Amino acid sequence: MSNGHAWVLGATGQIGRAAVRALAADGWEVTAASRGGGRDETWDAGVRAVALDRDEEGALEKALGDGCDVLVDMVAFDGTHARQLTGLAGRIGSAVVISSGAVYEDERGRSFDTQAEPDGFPRYPVPLPESQATVAPGDATYGTRKVLLERELLAAGEALPVTLLRAGAVHGPYCRTPRELYVVKRLLDGRRRRVLAYGGESRFHPVHVSNAAELIRLAAGKPGSRVLNAADPEAPTVAEIASAIDAVLGRETETVLIDGPAPEGQVGETPWSGAHPVVYDMTAAGEQLGYRPVTGYVESLPETVEWLAGELSGRDWREAFPKMLKNYGEGLFDYAAEDAWLAAYDRSRR
């Protein structure tokens, strides 16, 4: 017996693929919508794939037809998208929308938006609950746009029950900005030493796509207006992540630890690096949805590493992951700068 009809926007993205799979396995009739209209080979044959650009005027309204029981939105980013969904309230039973941990600010007003400023990295409580203050809504940054999205959707109230999932550092296959690339590429390139800032102790709470999909599945079955964190059961340090990837690839690496931030350029700075830990509280998800994670970070790594190695095979990393290049720049793999710093470091120890 079907649980009803679920629409998934952004179905061929990283979380979308896993969400479609989880919903179909749970008995939902699933329509998987994406710009290209593609399919994942692991989806059930009953999943209907459609091509849809949600930003095209009237396209979503037309495609929805008589509507759906739940709409899952991976690609909602601002107030315009919020108003698009609330305008369909009479045709959507409920919604589950991916937000971001980037919405939070600390007691001094620091957030991910201020991390590049002197002493600008936020110092959040550990763990960080959903009740923590957020940045002001607006159109200036990714975080402010997500807050605007959240507030406009929650304002719909009973007219459109919405679960907003504030995702941590998403990981798993099909990621456009895979943080694990930082470690995997170095190992594949034969690097035997790595440098880690902040003593390798930085923690940026990850969430595997299958855990995000489980939260989506549970929220789809329990409609309500709520905001919940989305994260794995553990938040490993950068040093622990690097060591775990070493183990997957059967390599040994000497790690050189730096006290504090990168000494120059991006040497020692990783995609997880930060002056203070970012660890999300998952208590509310357990209490409100009965959420239990389906995997842990270390358990999920082999599949991620295999996918990354395949994507890099015979390709320049900049071609394979252009968004990673855009977000982090060429310095992500500046081996010359690393080697120069390591040479100076070795001389200083003689």
> Is a pLDDT exceeding 80 seen at residue 319?
yes
Q: At 324, phi and psi to the nearest 5?
A: -65, -40
pLDDT of residue 2: 82
281 versus 350: the higher-pLDDT residue is: 281
Rounded distance between C-alpha atoms, residue 147 and residue 159, angstroms: 20
Element (H, E) at 179: none
pLDDT of residue 1: 62
Give whole-number Cα distances, 188 to 192, 306, 309, in Å.
10, 12, 8
Tens digit of each residue's pLDDT (9 = 90 or more) over 102-123:
999 999 999 999 999 999 999 9
Global pTM value? 0.97
Q: Show the tokens assigned to 292.
A: 């239990």
Tens digit of each residue's pLDDT (9 = 90 or more) over 148-193:
999 999 999 999 999 999 999 999 999 999 999 999 999 999 999 9
Provide, rounded to the nearest whole percent, the portion of the chain with pLDDT above 90.
Answer: 98
**How many other C-beta atoms can be found within 10 angstroms of the C-beta atom of residue 146?**
25
Kindly write down the DSSP assignment for every residue of 267-285, as one continuous string: TT--TT--SS-B-B--HHH
Tens digit of each residue's pLDDT (9 = 90 or more) over 211-220:
999 999 999 9
pLDDT of residue 264: 78
Contact 99, 78 (CB under 8 A): no
Element (H, E) at 114: none
Q: At 331, phi and psi to the nearest 5?
A: -65, -10
